[in-house]
Amino acid sequence: MALGDDYITKEQLKERLGINDAVDDAVLSVAVSSATDGINTHCRRDFQKADAASARKFRATDAELVIVDDFHSTTGLILETDEDDDGVFETVWDAADYELEPLNGVVDGKTGWPYWRICAVGSRSFPTARRAGVRLTAPWGWADVPSNVVSAAYVIAEDVARLKDTAFGVGGYSEFGRIRARENPHAATFLQRYRRNTVRIGG
């Protein structure tokens, strides 16, 4: 799997729904993709992963902390900063200059979380000038898709697939994407702890 890939397949959804023909294959393919897009939008993150590291830029608003996209490994990790706001990342940080959070990849006692916060702990600090002053090279995403995310994908895809049975083929919209008019409480429960703005990593 790669970043942007669906969390379940059309075939898996068909098996769940007990469908043995190809009549609704197009509808089911859309349902699977809509579920994935809805989950990513709702949680503000992509739970798939990139195997190779690549560079992304970030803007620090605090000299001691920068929030970045999820990355699942320190393999190939390079942290650089633009110290004089000229668009050139001339300073490469040593591993002793920063700590990655959540510490040990643990949140609420559960392992397997990616890193998305970098704290300056040495003599260096993050530039907070006008340009995006931090460049991070890392393998983005999650090492493994959480089981709750997969469960939510099934629930939402099932709702989207059933839109064809509603009046005019439209069931409404929600923060999970195009589903039946009422937001599915089961999906919300599955995804609650994975929304970036609600995750607690300390205390």
> Which residues make Cβ contacts (< 8 Å) with residue 148, sequence separation at least 6?
190, 191, 193, 194
pLDDT per residue as tens digits for the range 27-57: 999 999 989 999 999 899 999 999 999 999 9
Average pLDDT (133-157) is 96
- Better-predicted residue by pLDDT, 73 or 34: 73
Cα–Cα distances in Å, from 74 out to 19, 54, 88? 43, 12, 23
For CA atoms 157, 161, 166, 171, the dihedral sign is: positive
Rounded Cα distance, 34 and 31, in Å: 5
pTM for this entry: 0.86
Q: What are the helix (H) ranges across the chain?
A: 10-17, 25-43, 147-161, 185-191
Going by pLDDT thresholds of 50, 70 and 90, the confidence category of residue 186 is: confident
Q: What is the reported pLDDT for 182?
A: 43
pLDDT per residue as tens digits for the range 103-141: 999 998 999 999 999 999 989 999 999 999 999 999 999
- If one counts every other C-beta atom within 10 angstroms of the C-beta of residue 57, the result is 15
